Amino acid sequence: GISPYVPGKAAADDGRPLIKLSANENPLGTGDAARAAMAAGIADLATYPDPGAAKLREAIAGKYSLDPARIIYGTGSDELLHLAASAYAGPGDEVLYVRYGFSVYDIAARRVGAVPVVAPDKDYGTDVDALLALVTDRTRVVYLANPNNPTGTMTPASEIARLHAGLPGDVLFVLDQAYAEYLDDSEDDGGLALAEKASNVFVTRTFSKIHGLAAERIGWGYASAEIIDALHRIRAPFNVTTAGQQAAIAAINDNAWMERSRDHNAQWRAWLAEQVAALSNHGLRVVPSKANFLLILFEGKLTAEAALKGLMAEGYATRWLPGQGLPNALRITIGTEAQTRAVAAILRTLAEGA
Ligand code: PLP
């Protein structure tokens, strides 16, 4: 059966609101340009949005030097991930992804009656050989998040190329780049360049993370004209709102906001990782992350569940993922400076008191 998606918490069990470091949102919020565009975008609420999102596609194409005709947009990248399975897999087919992959892949596969096939990880990251070993003639879609959620691990460009080269041409390779904007240029996994020339690659991105527009639900994707045509045939007709399209255009052109968000994340992710590393004598360990969160492993007296509860008691929601096979880990979004410092102090107190 299908288990529903479990969202990151924003409140304690007693209803008390919490500071939400459980859903990998932008702790700095939304840039002023996107906010202003959003506000202007609600002037005409009676008219349907542009079903072709032409101006949004032009803006994305301009920024990343892409063909606007080959860009699709969705109600979050979630919609696009689902469309990929719906268009390419059906009952009895296999959908492949790596253990500790994004939880939507399992839901998207089961929703269309396909069989989810899970490859073992390598140190919480991608094992390309393990993935390729599980490809059969029933494999229709391979999903990979890069950087990955919930682990934060990064699969380098050379490994992405090797994975693609090893896949049969009729298997759709969905490369989910929800956190790609947090990378330096030198860390690019080559996904968009691959989608530019390969006929079986679909790259997805989102406005929910660095762009600070998670509430508006906007994602986009890039693939061959044939794939984009197949996805358009089954998407909802007006799947991105007028205000959302306008806010997204402003956000993608706001380089200063993106840079500020990226720099903030890099600085405080490194700082928090150091603070956790300093608690290694208490069994705490971080998985190296290239995203806007850290996966922290609890291998000493302090358990992940106790840390979750301890952080919650101090007003912070983080993410415990026993349902995804990670009972000894917490995923913590990089917050503001004050939030990140508070989380580190709480973890130290909990670890020392355990
Ligand atoms: N892909 C990954 C790896 C994610 O972590 C998320 C959200 O957390 C998404 C996709 C979905 O994002 P959205 O639907 O908001 O674009």
CATH of the domain at 179: 3.40.640.10
**Is there a domain that residue 11 lies in?**
no
Which residues form the domain of 47? 32-253
Predicted local confidence at residue 196, as pLDDT: 98
**Is there a domain that residue 7 lies in?**
no
For residue 178, how far is its CA from the centre of ligand 1 (angstroms)?
Answer: 6
Residue of 79, 102, 179, 294 with the most ligand 1 atoms within 8 Å of its CB, for mutation: 102
pLDDT at residue 1 tops 90 = no
Q: What pLDDT band is residue 81 in, cutting at 50, 70 and 90?
A: very high
The dihedral over CA atoms of 266, 268, 274, 278, expressed in degrees to the nearest 10, equals -160
Query: What does the DSSP assignment read for 113-158?
Result: TPEEEEEPPBTTB--HHHHHHT--TTEEEEEEESS-TTT-----HH
3-state secondary structure of 204: strand
Q: Are residues 96 and 180 in the same domain?
A: yes
Residue of 20, 75, 176 with the most ligand 1 atoms within 8 Å of its CB, for mutation: 176
**Is there a domain that residue 13 lies in?**
no
Predicted local confidence at residue 80, as pLDDT: 98
Q: Are 109 and 95 in contact (CB under 8 A)?
A: yes
Q: Are 229 and 199 in contact (CB under 8 A)?
A: no
Ligand 1: residues within 6 Å at CB? 24, 76-78, 102, 145, 149, 176, 178, 206, 208, 214, 219
Predicted local confidence at residue 213, as pLDDT: 98
**Strand ranges across the sheet with 115-119:** 71-74, 219-222, 201-206, 172-176, 139-145, 94-98, 115-119
Determine the atom of ligand 1 nearest the C-alpha atom of 214: 15
Token readout for 343 is 């989380």
pLDDT at residue 8 tops 90 = no
Domain boundary among 205, 225, 253: 253
Mean pLDDT of 295-320: 98
Predicted local confidence at residue 288, as pLDDT: 97
pLDDT at residue 4 tops 90 = no
- Distance, in Å, from the CA atom of 263 to the CA atom of 232, rounded to the nearest integer, reads 36
C-alpha distances in Å from residue 315, one per residue of 126, 189, 233: 34, 37, 45
Q: Are residues 141 and 227 in the same domain?
A: yes
Predicted local confidence at residue 199, as pLDDT: 98
Q: Are residues 184 and 115 in the same domain?
A: yes
- Distance, in Å, from the CA atom of 38 to the CA atom of 32, rounded to the nearest integer, reads 10
Q: Are residues 45 and 170 in the same domain?
A: yes
Domain tally for the chain? 2
Q: Are 127 and 159 in contact (CB under 8 A)?
A: no
Q: Are residues 220 and 317 in the same domain?
A: no
Predicted local confidence at residue 97, as pLDDT: 98
Mean pLDDT of 55-75: 98
Q: Are residues 169 and 277 in the same domain?
A: no
- Distance, in Å, from the CA atom of 32 to the CA atom of 47, rounded to the nearest integer, reads 25
Question: Which helix (H) or strand (E) covers residue 226, if one does?
Answer: helix 225-234
Token readout for 225 is 């004209």
Domain boundary among 238, 253, 268: 253
Predicted local confidence at residue 240, as pLDDT: 98
Domain boundary among 253, 285, 320: 253
Predicted local confidence at residue 3, as pLDDT: 87
**Is there a domain that residue 248 lies in?**
yes
